[in-house]
Chain A
Amino acid sequence: MENLIQSLTERVKQAASNNTPLAIHGGNSKSFYGGAIRGDALDLRAYTGIIDYEPKELVLTVRAGTPLQEIETALEAAGQMLPFEPPYYADTATIGGTVATGLSGPRRPYTGAVRDFVLGTRIINGKGEDLSFGGRVIKNVAGYDVSRLMTGAMGTLGVLLDISFKVLPKPTDEITLRFEMDEATAIQRFNEWAGKPLPISATSWHQGVAMVRLSGAAAGVKAAREKLGGEAVADAQAFWRDLRDHRAPFFEDAEPLRRLSVPSTTSPLSLDLPQWIEWGGALRWVKGAADVKVLREKIASVGGHATLFRHGDKSVGVFHPLAPVLAKIHVNLKAAFDPDNILNPGRMDNFS
């Protein structure tokens, strides 16, 4: 593996000296996401495998090219999990892409996001330097938190090599409850419930139906179910997996799909577009044609940001534009890590 790292660093150095962009990829399961891809492919799939996993430590260290499937299987065997319930979108998904895109699944509002569980990273920066930040320990404040900065940076700041995560025991019992209620009521209930000590692990609302997943020890789940009411859903696992991976019919057509990240208490957006709400109200998927400018303004006015997630016209920008003073810091950071702008240029398209 050290030879592989050597050759990867060489590739990056060469690209830097020739000024030729690199398009970093793993399983290409999320290549639809983010700004347009350009440059020579830099495939990380050969850089694979679990480096260190000791369940008692609650810490897992893996190579970026490791398939997500392989990791989750290993964790499952020890009764543990990646607490952010990473979306796959395709079976080929790798952990590197999961961290680079920074996307989390239905459990996110209740246990945390990818960035919350990333403890350390080893990366190659745009100069071809092999660098390590953070650690394999749960608490670490030495130096700036570069590892979390890598999360969701779309590979624009460095090629991810190794990543350490904090993992958690997997709840032994799970149950999903179904409620019929309108959008406004669902948003209100989700927020009320989140303010109470209940073992909620996922929420969804779509077309007048709210779904709530409870996870934990059997007795706790049972007690919470009695408090909440609703009717139990059979085969709920498939429901949450399809939502997580956008395999539900709602997500399957070619309409532009937008990811609206808003404060959870934001009242119904009334956009007149088909919508699916999760994350207790904090994540709202809408699809169909929309005036981007108007939409962005509206979402910004409630304190959120809008992303064109899939399909549609990327020329107006995928990510929500940044305020000039913020964009300036982004430009500076990009230059600090990748002075020749060769790592995934343009994948994060809201500053330049």
Chain B
Amino acid sequence: MNAGLLADFSRITPALNVITDHERLRPFETDAFISHRAVPMCAILPEDETQVAAILASCSARGVPVVTRGAGTGISGGAIPSEDGVLLVLTRMNHIGKVDHQARTATVGPGVRNLAVSDAAAAHNLFYAPDPSSQLICSIGGNVAENSGGVHCLKYGLTTHNVLQVRLVLSGGESMTLGSRALDAAGYDLMAVVTGSEGMLGLVTEVVVKLTPVPEHVETLLAAFPSVTDAANAVGRIIGAGVVPAALEMMDKMVIEACEKFMSAGFPLDAEALLLIELDGVREEVADQLVRVEQVLNDCHAQEIRRAKSDAEREKLWKARKGAFAALATIRPDYYTIDGTIPRRCLPDVLARYTQLAEEYRMLVANVFHAGDGNLHPCIFYDATVPGEMERSEELGGKMLEICVEVGGTITGEHGVGVEKLRQMCVQFREAELATFHAIKAAFDPAGILNPGKGVPSLKRCAEWGGMHVREGKMPRADIPRF
């Protein structure tokens, strides 16, 4: 441990919670992307922006890397520490400030849990819309860093659409306000750049989020299909019919069975694919949409359509969906979740290719994903105790992501790049584009100490990997418009 740095920290405030012993540092060595780990030099749990700024100033003066962590629920490894660096854990900055029901905003610390924001706003019949599966525990700061989505973002948008203003501390320790409580701010849209920047541009110490009125009426439908293709077709046709559901989720047979086994969600076990559809809004509007959706479902050979009859039934269905990943752990001990997005029309084709790949690799793959926005979450099962299985799952995952790029999609819809998808970044982006990302990073963090090695691969690493993917600076299948 760097003695000078420790002395700096002790001058900030004697009460600063600095952990330097290996025994207590190890629980911080990974987030929810557990196949990668690194024990940091030290971990600090600051209490306010002043402490954060002082810590950053010392670290940048001494060139020490800083990784920020919220609740540690990320599944791309964005919060995995640097071995020679400081881990800033912001979970103690969990104060919920003003909930302004007139303006429909809430001011919260970065460590506040996503769901706690909605809980705090519930009395005013308002809620915070982005709802990643981990919303029970994931922190708002982490949501901003990853630009988290969720099951309802087809209609309500991602974090970037629901955050108005942040306090940002740069690596040098300078603090500033980005965005505004108004609907726009002067200058470049820096909120857009910082949201989803995976902690590489600055540290968010306060967030003003937008609150949304709780819809007057909600209908949740469960439709069972004899094939994945039928379900995928139904997705396109629902949207083609002019309906934008609040959520449109798909699960394949393996997920259905796991959810049923572990959570008794009441899913029909004889179906090959399920769609979970939520319509919300003004009562009459929802009634109108319901008729149209049921028509489409019938036209697309739905073998069974169920409507949640009460809030309790609806919650049960969603609980099963949101707990699906963890429930899958009951099938095999370890799993790896992929997060690519594709144009929706490619769904049946891509899913078929995934099945084929899974067979080639002789691995179990389950699909549970946000079908409405084409965000796929294939889940690859393996047993980490079997040598080579983890590596094979990662290789298979990489191929699946490359298919996403090939059909005009992206390697990450909402989980972020972290350490997990660095390699695929070289597939999706060309050298000059990656160079632009590095230049943006340098514009915010000239010292280059914030979350080094994450999000954007160095050009050198891409060149090392590049032989496989990039030929003469051109993409495979260059005829497909890609951006």
Contacts and interface: CB of A to CB of B under 8 A. Distances in A.
Interface of A: 51-52, 54-59, 61, 79, 102, 108-109, 112-113, 115-116, 120-122, 125, 129, 131-146, 148-149, 151-153, 157, 162, 164, 168-169, 172, 191-192, 194-199, 216-217, 219-220, 222-224, 261-265, 279, 282-283, 303-305, 307, 319-323, 325-326, 329-330, 332-333, 335-337, 348, 350-351
A140, A141, A282, A330: which has the most chain B beta carbons within 10 Å?
A141
A320 B342 CA distance: 40
A313 B375 CA distance: 49
Contacts of A157: 188
Interface stretch (B3-11, B352-360, B384-392, B440-448): B440-448
A132 B483 contact: yes
A56, A131, A140, A263: which has the most chain B beta carbons within 10 Å?
A140
Interface stretch (B19-27, B61-69, B219-227, B411-419): B411-419
A218 to B, nearest CB: 8
B188 A56 contact: no
Interface in B169-201: 170, 174-178, 180-190, 192-193, 195-197, 201
Contacts of A143: 417, 425, 428-429, 433-434, 437, 455-456
B410 A135 contact: yes
Contacts of A323: 176-177
Contact of B421 (A131, A142, A217): A142
Nearest to B429: A143
B161 interface: yes
B343 A139 contact: no
A261 B182 contact: yes
B12 interface: no
A337 B77 CA distance: 29
Contact of B408 (A56, A135, A332): A135
A116 B421 CA distance: 25
B409 interface: yes
A116, A262, A264, A329: which has the most chain B beta carbons within 10 Å?
A329
B215 A197 contact: yes
A326 B170 CA distance: 11
B344 A222 contact: no
Nearest to A263: B181
A329 B168 CA distance: 12
A115 B189 contact: yes
Nearest to B147: A141
Interface residues of B, number: 100
Nearest to B165: A303
Contacts, number: 280
A56 B237 contact: yes
Q: What are the 6 A-B residue pairs with the smallest beta carbon separation, nearest first?
A: A132-B483, A148-B192, A219-B284, A332-B443, A336-B439, A220-B285
A169 B236 CA distance: 13
Contact of A279 (B178, B183, B190, B282): B183
B284 A223 contact: yes
B276 to A, nearest CB: 18
A138 B153 CA distance: 9
Nearest to B241: A169
A242 B103 CA distance: 27
Given A199-B282, A264-B183, A351-B187, 4 more contacts: A56-B236, A102-B184, A137-B375, A325-B175
Contact of A58 (B184, B201, B239, B439): B239
B375 A139 contact: yes
B272 interface: no
A206 B109 CA distance: 38
Nearest to B372: A138
Contacts of A197: 213-216, 281-282
A335 B440 CA distance: 10
Contact of B196 (A141, A196, A264): A141
A307 B236 CA distance: 42
B285 A195 contact: no
A116 B176 contact: no
Contact of A195 (B213, B375, B413): B213
Nearest to B217: A197
B190 A329 contact: yes
Given A142-B417, A145-B147, A131 B433 contact: yes
A262 B181 CA distance: 7
Nearest to A153: B188
Interface in B243-257: 243-244
B482 interface: yes
A144 B193 contact: yes
B95 interface: no
B187 A169 contact: no
A152 B188 contact: yes
A194 B104 contact: yes
A195 B189 contact: no
Contacts of B188: 149, 152-153, 157, 330, 333, 348
B182 A303 contact: yes
A162 B483 contact: yes
A159 B180 CA distance: 27
B432 A129 contact: yes
Given A162-B483, A219-B284, A333-B188, A139 B104 contact: no
5 contacts: A145-B196, A195-B213, A224-B282, A326-B190, A332-B446
Contacts of A303: 180-182
Nearest to A187: B102
Contacts of B79: none
A147 B198 CA distance: 17
A132 B482 contact: yes
A192, A195, A303: which has the most chain B beta carbons within 10 Å?
A195
B45 interface: no
Contacts of B483: 120-122, 132-136, 162, 164
Nearest to B101: A195
Contacts of B213: 194-198
B436 A136 contact: no
B232 to A, nearest CB: 11
Contacts of A194: 104, 213
B102 A265 contact: yes
Nearest to B438: A336
A142 B428 contact: yes
A37 to B, nearest CB: 19
B103 A263 contact: yes
Nearest to A61: B481
A263 B185 CA distance: 11
Contacts of B242: 79, 169, 172
B70 interface: no
Nearest to B341: A137
A284 B274 CA distance: 48
Contacts of A322: 186-187
A137 B374 contact: yes
B282 A198 contact: yes
Contacts of A58: 239, 244
A58 B103 CA distance: 30
B283 interface: yes
